[in-house]
Amino acid sequence: MEKIKKKKRKTFTRRDFLKGFGSGALGAAVVPKLVSQDVFSLQTKEGKIPLYSKKQITLNINEKNYSLVIEPRETLLHVLREKLNLTGTKKTCSGGECGACTVLLDGNPIYSCLTLAIRADNKKITTVEGLAADGKLHPIQQAFIEKDGYQCGFCTPGFIMSSVALLEKNKNPLTEEIKTALSGNLCRCGNYSKIYEAVSVASKSMRGA
Ligand code: FES
Ligand code: FES
């Protein structure tokens, strides 16, 4: 038993951990050395997993590339709001309950509060800021305004992003399909019937019906 413990310590000790992960706090000069480097490796049954202290990533957000250095623990929501000042994506529960933080990752709606930014490296992200084009609102944004699809508006960006994902895949959804697609978004003002109506109106205008 003692032998096994010693062997484990040799591979990855607490001292190694503190030396690597604490170095950012001790001196800025050390950080660049660690960026994008495989600082430690953890040997698992599936193979070696690199453990980074910091990593350089590229996020393609609303068709623009952003290159930045992040810590692996940072969520996509945190990076969007706090590092890139894209505050249209809202932070509410931070726990995958409300959908206020919904963005599209390669076209699929995701909770950005539950997605690590490192997982979005080199992926295409769409936020509510990327919907309007040529000075015109997206038809879904327009329909939310026309049909009073919001009250306080805090949930609105998340609902709009889920609606964009739905209408990309289903141009003419039934009300039940709209409800299902938006079931991951909560509206604390209880404005659901107007939200569903707005999505239905948007689907008609996008089809030219
Ligand atoms: S803030 Fe992400 S689900 Fe609520
Ligand atoms: S409009 Fe207020 S939370 Fe939905």
- The CATH number linked to 165 is 1.10.150.120
96 and 112, same domain (yes or no): yes
CA 188 to ligand 1 center in whole angstroms = 13
The Cα angle at residue 112 between residues 108 and 114, in degrees rounded to 5: 110
Residue 190 has pLDDT above 80, yes or no: yes
Decide if 173 contacts 167 (C-beta within 8 A): yes
For residue 152, report the phi and psi dihedrals to the nearest 5 degrees: -75, -25
Q: From the alpha carbon of 188, which atom of ligand 2 is closest?
A: 3
Which residue has the CA at smallest separation from atom 3 of ligand 1?
Answer: 96
3-state secondary structure 4-20: HHHHHHHHCCHHHHHHH
| pTM (two decimals) | 0.79
121 and 78, same domain (yes or no): yes
- Burial class (CB within 10 angstroms; exposed 0-12, middle 13-18, buried 19+) of 200: middle
79 and 110, same domain (yes or no): yes
Q: What is the pLDDT of residues 53-72, one digit of tens each?
A: 899 999 999 999 999 999 99
Number of domains in the chain: 3
- Domain, as residue range, for 24: 2-51
